[in-house]
A and B are shown apart, each in its own frame.
Chain A
């Protein structure tokens, strides 16, 4: 099975900061990588699919990049509503697998 490793596990930021979360796969997954945001007590929400495609309705301050084994999620200017936990997710193989999550804190 493919292991997904996110870094950092937690991240402190201020409103307006640019933040980047990285995700590394244990083997190549080409561009089969998605990103989700989860707020406490809520279901995850899709942000980015297939490495760099912004889901409809997601603000353009979110962007994704990468291919192969190394990927990143960037928030260009963090807003108060962005403080949440972020998960990467590979779907190149079955079973799919998730990163352990990155908690973005104020």
Chain B
């Protein structure tokens, strides 16, 4: 059974930093690209960042570019999101997502999410 378990969400002050982790199990983690998607309270879904299976290809959404860094440790089956210069508008539930491909790619499995609150 595929499991994605996020951790690290917290209350942080504007301008602060936070690192999210996602522990993966139930599949061969090193084979699959992974993503972070967020959802502000009462809002829709927003792509945050993605990373290829070997970490060699990375992309970011425009709203987090230059402030967030995605990484992965395939030996630990763990995905990370280092967040810095946090703003109130970064307040959201952050989901770790496993990609799958069949003609085009899609988000096959989602973690339960971890809440990041940016407030003074």
Contact = CB atoms under 8 A, between A and B. Distances in A.
B104 A50 contact: yes
A46 B108 contact: yes
B70 to A, nearest CB: 13
A101 B44 contact: yes
B103 A94 contact: no
Interface in B72-117: 95, 100, 102-113
B110 to A, nearest CB: 4
A73 to B, nearest CB: 14
B11 interface: no
Interface string B36-54: 0000000011110010000
A28 to B, nearest CB: 13
Interface in A91-106: 91-92, 94-101
B106 A50 contact: yes
Given A31-B104, A32-B104, A43 B47 contact: no
Contact of B107 (A36, A53, A97): A36
A87 B106 contact: no
Contact of B111 (A43, A49, A89): A43
Nearest to A46: B108
Nearest to B4: A43
B44 A98 contact: yes
B44 A43 contact: no
Contacts of B111: 43
A34 interface: yes
Interface in A21-53: 30-32, 34, 36, 42-46, 49-50, 53
A75 B100 CA distance: 24
22 contacts: A34-B106, A34-B107, A36-B107, A43-B95, A43-B112, A46-B107, A46-B108, A46-B109, A49-B102, A49-B108, A50-B103, A50-B104, A53-B102, A55-B108, A89-B106, A89-B107, A92-B104, A95-B47, A96-B47, A98-B45, A98-B46, A101-B45
